[in-house]
Structure 1
Amino acid sequence: MPRERLAAARSLIAVNLVGDAGFLQTLPATRHLGVGRDGGVVVWLDDAEGEGPVLDPVRPDRPPEVELNGEGALPRALLDHPRAQYVEAAFDGLGDPVAAPLGWWHVRVWLKPA
């Protein structure tokens, strides 16, 4: 397989999204959005660049505006959103032998007030 196609294949991930759908559309690393077979979002991401946003050290006293989860390792590019105020991320390395053999990640994002 040509090296360019392999690099592009690594940036393709499936994401389950709850909340502000515009989060992925306005994410700087998003190259393309699509719909997966199960109705989830399929995202083509560029690699994360730079240090990412400056996040607040304390979680806001309100529910998160966006929740994301998916299989495998958490792509750092998903966290580098200019509107992110606070982010919580967790990874279950054991996953499920059938549904998520590569583990499972979950992210909660609080957005800066508009």
Structure 2
Amino acid sequence: MTSPKKTGPDQDSADTAAAAEPATEAETAVRPAGGDYEPYPGAAYFHGGRTSEVIAAMAVRLHQEGHADRRLGPDWTNAHRRAFASFQESLRPKGGGDTSGIPDETAWEKLRVPRVTPVREA
């Protein structure tokens, strides 16, 4: 069990130093300008016949994470499903959750797919 994070003037100097460290190269390589990621489109979005830049961006991230042998295209295929299942399995070892290959919201957020759709203004 971890202790609660200290804040304020009593914060440990090690905590302060860690917070001041710049992002690693791997973290910045997948972070789009402004830190904006593609919102989860919902499980129904991922089906045969779907072609989308969102799927292409997801495929690039799966390749970067080592879950796809090659870069997959914008058409949803069984290869995309297998690659996402591999990613889900890395997050949930020993069958501890959804590893169907259909993106779920938790896994999608952890994949950090860069935004490719326009931001809708309210």
Q: Answer 1 or 2: which has greater helix percent.
A: 2
Which structure has the larger Rg? 2
TM over 0.5: no
**For the superposition of Structure 1 and Structure 2, which TM-score range results when normalised by the shorter chain?**
under 0.3
What is the TM-score of this pair, normalised by structure 2? 0.25
Higher normalized contact order (CA 8 Å, seq sep 6+, divided by chain length): 2
